[in-house]
Amino acid sequence: MKLRMIGIDHSRASVEVRERYAFTNAATRAVMQTGMQTLNNMSGIRGGVLLSTCNRMELYVSLSPEAEPDLYALICDWKGILPGAERALFYEKKDLEAARHLFELTCGLRSQIMGEDQILTQVKDALLLAREETATDHCLEVLFRQAITTAKEIKSSIRFDHGNCSAATAVIMHLQKRGAVFSGKKALVIGNGMMGKLTAQALMEAGAQVTVTVRQYHSGTVDIPEGAQRINYGERYEKLADADYVFSATASPNLTITPDRLSGIALDGKTFVDLAVPRDIDPAVGDLPGVRLLCMDDLDIEQLSEEQKKQTERAQEKISEALAEFERFFYGRDLIPRIGRFADEMADDLWGRMKKDCAGLDDSQRRHVEQAAKRSSSKVTAHILFALRDGLDADTFAHCMQVLEKDRS
């Protein structure tokens, strides 16, 4: 069994590139339903989890030992893109390196906003979706569960400075540093998913009067943050005319704001913020007179403070401890049956040496001694081998097993 991952994120690619490889929830589900099932039969891929957020797209797969699929070509096929020079923007990692990447990602160490909470929920959702479509396998289940558990432990014990905030909060802080005022201003939030709700809440905490759009068929059932107003999505342009700030954060592949629909609306001084990938707001909106258009790529990413570096080091220590546990599982899972077989062989060997000493026993006594001797010998041998497995690095223990098995052959 092998573990592989491939990804592209904000540190290597612009939003224009990232959106070409982004998957909506519906597209992710479709891939898990059909793409992975086909690959299970063709390429030695035993399981997969696809994670797609505003800042990254990552695919994790478990493979049979002989499999070497081209994961970049696979993603291009799913997206209907011809593989090309953008391959260089992707990163690929193997086995424990891939596992560490997921551990660091899930606790927020690889986020644009260090320590942010939203990525943990996104990783959990990606696992759940893959699980619902039976696309995961035991290896990926263990990996993702341990990454999620470790992230929760880190977040409960380490409070990152300026961390644990949403992308919307980061954008608001970015604007405030440049003189923007939200108190008493009117803001329109397009989208009522997780990101939309976080955005509405952050704007209200900054003092803005917030209106949230909901789809008409959801208008009677969708919860919005307390204190916000709601309008139907189809009424967004009418409300936009009265807004100082327009934030769009949907999971839709379609544009929510286009320049042609803004004709006749006074735009001077309005700020549009696009928090989605693929983008919600047509980039041409930013070319209109008097308009300011921002996306996540426009944020200022400050260097880590000394305190943040210490917090990161503490988080890395906890990740290393958790990764050691996953390593024992990852490299030991194929050895467990071999340990069991070797322990049983040693039990048979012990009984073979004891037979002469038990010659004076009757049949019932001899069977009782044989069973007790084999059971005890097997348990003691297995206990010793598992202790060695936990105390040695994976390569050394594998070599030890080879030597012991060769001696028995």
pLDDT tens digits for 16-55? Answer: 999 999 999 889 999 888 766 666 656 788 899 999 998 9
* Amino acid of residue 262: L
Q: What is the mean pLDDT of residues 48-65?
A: 93
Asked if residue 152 and residue 44 are part of one domain, the reply reads yes
**Same domain as 128, residue 55:** yes
Asked whether residue 286 is domain-assigned, the answer is: yes
Q: 115 and 18 share a domain? A: yes
The tens digit of pLDDT for each residue in 185-206 reads 999 999 988 888 989 999 999 9
Which CATH number characterizes residue 185's domain? 3.40.50.720
pLDDT at 407: 74
Mean pLDDT of 66-87: 92
Same domain, 69 and 90: yes
pLDDT (mean) for 274-290: 94
305 domain-assigned: no
pLDDT tens digits, residue range 341-398?
888 888 888 888 898 888 888 889 888 998 898 888 888 888 888 788 767 777 788 7
The string over 374-409, giving b where at least 16 C-beta atoms fall within 10 Å of a residue's C-beta and e elsewhere, is beebbeebbeebbeebeeeebeebbeebeebeeeee
Look at residue 38 in the predicted model and tell me its pLDDT.
63
Domain-located, residue 255? yes
C-alpha to C-alpha distance for 251 and 209, rounded to whole angstroms: 24
Query: Can you list the positions of beta strands (E) in 196-298?
Result: 209-214, 229-232, 245-248, 271-274, 292-295
349 and 276, same structural domain? no
Same domain, 33 and 154: yes
In a domain, 340, yes or no: yes
- Final residue belonging to a domain, choices 302, 329, 356: 329
Would the pLDDT of 302 be above 70? no
The predicted pLDDT at position 222 comes to 67
How does residue 158 score in pLDDT terms, banded at 50, 70 and 90? confident
Q: What are phi and psi of 13, to 5 degrees?
A: -140, 150
Which of residues 267, 294, 321 is at a domain's end? 294
Same domain flag for 69 and 154: yes
Number of domains in the chain: 3
Query: Are 321 and 245 in the same domain?
Result: no
88/190 same-domain check: no
Judge if 10 and 88 occupy the same domain: yes
Query: What confidence tier does 322 reach under pLDDT thresholds 50, 70, 90?
Result: very high
For the record, the structure tokens of 55 come out as 């800042």
**223 in a domain, yes or no?**
yes
303 falls within a domain: no
- pLDDT digit string, tens, across residues 92-139: 999 999 999 999 999 999 988 888 888 999 999 999 999 998 888 889
Q: Is residue 169 part of a domain?
A: no
In a shared domain, residues 200 and 320: no
- Give which of 322, 268, 118, 87 is closest to 201, Cα–Cα: 118
Q: What DSSP string describes 83-112? A: --GGGGG-EEEEHHHHHHHHHHHHTTTTSS
Q: Please list the active-site residues.
A: 54
pLDDT above 60: residue 269: yes
Is there a single domain that holds both residue 322 and residue 342?
no
Sign of the C-alpha dihedral computed for residues 8, 10, 14 and 15 taken in this order? positive
Lowest mean pLDDT among 174-178, 268-272, 318-322: 174-178
Which residues 6+ apart lie within 8 Å of 233 measured at CB?
190, 213, 214, 215, 216
CATH code: domain of residue 72: 3.30.460.30
**Enclosing domain of residue 274:** 180-294
Whether 266 maps to a domain, the answer reads yes
